[in-house]
Amino acid sequence: MAAGAVTQDTSATTVRTARRVPFGAALEYDHFISDPDYTALFVSHCDMIFPMNALKWDALQACPGEFDFSRADDILSFAETLGRGTYGHTFVWYNALPQWVEEIDRPAQAEAALIDHVRTVASRFSGRVPVWDVVNEVIAHDPAHEGPWRDSLWMRLLGPAHVDIAFSAAAEAAPGAELAVNDYDLEFTGPRYDARREAVLDLVRRLQDRQLRIDAIGIQGHLYPEIPIDHQGLGRFIRDLEALGVGYRLTEIDVIDWNLPPDAALRDEMAAEHVGNLLDAAFSAALPRSVSTWGLSDRYSWISDVMPHRAGAPNRPLPFDEALKPKPMYEVIQRYLSA
């Protein structure tokens, strides 16, 4: 276990309330190691604690055939020791690939690398990681204009079959794990989002037509407050998934607050309201298998790097503030999870 984590007194801060839906958050390894107060927040509030980046390809297999499981092991053991659930993100993505994979230029080599990676990682964590994002973000950003599939190394060399290959290898190597497709922009109002939801349903049908097991869809939930949640469209999507025998999880919730007013209290209220709109639409259709945020406190978020606040104010995308105090967003999430 990681040095930074061992020193914490976890006994007084264990999650005690049983929620009807488990709540989790993604934990970046560097913060897990360097910031014990931040890690303690996960211990206090999360039913599921899982690696944000430590299970990605570039973290596990930076050089061909040389696997380093140590960082993922540290976070997973930490969650296990505390009796918490966890989550596997992710086998196949267009991003977070090491240079040697980016340089693959033959289909047979791509297929061999893909199968070997999924098999090795899935079997290494079999029985420990209960759910895997087998593929992440394979739907085109704008399916009506770019075709249903997102461009990637895997698409260029193997076409849509790379998704079948990954699901087949995962089902074989991790027979007890839930297998999921995870994607973004599935919750909003507008034709591009309708098309993305439709493309996900087509992907589920494609896998099922090939007798490949698909158990759940991860709806990421990176929310833009300027784009309204599609209450009806999201509800229909979740019910359509249910009719196909597929569940759902909310996997990466945060609020991209770059256009919200700089005033912190007002911004927090608006962000909480928007998360409430997502939860209301989703929970009205069916209960998710879990709800997770992408990080837990405003201290660390990808949004500060990629979409800093337009007025230069520090971003406030997550349920806890920089001082690790709960914000209205956390109250809203608790209301839905514990109701």
Strands (E), 152-259: 178-183, 216-219, 222-223, 247-255
292 near ligand 9MR (CB under 6 A): no
297 near ligand 9MR (CB under 6 A): no
**Residues 135 to 194 in contact with ligand 9MR, rule: CB under 6 A:** 136
Work out the burial of residue 303: count CB atoms within 10 Å of its CB; fewer than 13 is exposed, 13-18 middle, 19 or more buried: buried
Work out the burial of residue 244: count CB atoms within 10 Å of its CB; fewer than 13 is exposed, 13-18 middle, 19 or more buried: middle
Work out the burial of residue 304: count CB atoms within 10 Å of its CB; fewer than 13 is exposed, 13-18 middle, 19 or more buried: middle
DSSP 19: P
* 154, amino acid identity: W
* 323, amino acid identity: A
264 near ligand 9MR (CB under 6 A): no
**In whole angstroms, what is the distance from residue 63 CA to residue 99 CA?**
9
121 near ligand 9MR (CB under 6 A): no
Closest CA relative to residue 249, chosen from 63, 7, 24, 37: 24
Nearer to ligand 9MR, 52 or 131 (CB): 52
* Given 15, 33, 62, 96, the residue binding ligand 9MR (CB under 6 A): 96
Nearer to ligand 9MR, 53 or 277 (CB): 53
Nearer to ligand 9MR, 178 or 252 (CB): 252
* Given 252, 268, 298, 321, the residue binding ligand 9MR (CB under 6 A): 252
**In whole angstroms, what is the distance from residue 278 CA to residue 250 CA?**
9
**In whole angstroms, what is the distance from residue 179 CA to residue 321 CA?**
33
95 near ligand 9MR (CB under 6 A): yes
Give the range of 15-23, 48-56, 99-107, 277-285 binding ligand 9MR by CB under 6 A: 48-56
Give the range of 11-19, 52-60, 66-74, 155-163 binding ligand 9MR by CB under 6 A: 52-60
34 near ligand 9MR (CB under 6 A): no
**In whole angstroms, what is the distance from residue 177 CA to residue 207 CA?**
17
Query: What are the angstrom distances between the C-alpha of 218 and each of 33, 48, 201, 312?
Result: 27, 15, 12, 32
61 near ligand 9MR (CB under 6 A): no
Q: How far is the CB of 105 from ligand 9MR (least distance, A)?
A: 23
Query: For residues 296 and 41, is the Cβ–Cβ distance under 8 A?
Result: yes
Give the range of 51-59, 79-87, 146-154, 166-174 binding ligand 9MR by CB under 6 A: 51-59
52 near ligand 9MR (CB under 6 A): yes
Q: How far is the CB of 250 from ligand 9MR (least distance, A)?
A: 13
Nearer to ligand 9MR, 13 or 224 (CB): 224
302 near ligand 9MR (CB under 6 A): yes
Q: Classify the C-alpha dihedral 205-208-214-215 as positive or negative.
A: positive
**Residue 92: beta bridge partners?**
135
Give the range of 49-57, 140-148, 207-215, 269-277 binding ligand 9MR by CB under 6 A: 49-57
Q: How far is the CB of 305 from ligand 9MR (least distance, A)?
A: 8
Which residues contribute to the site for ligand 9MR (CB under 6 A)? 28, 52-53, 56, 95-96, 136, 220, 252, 302
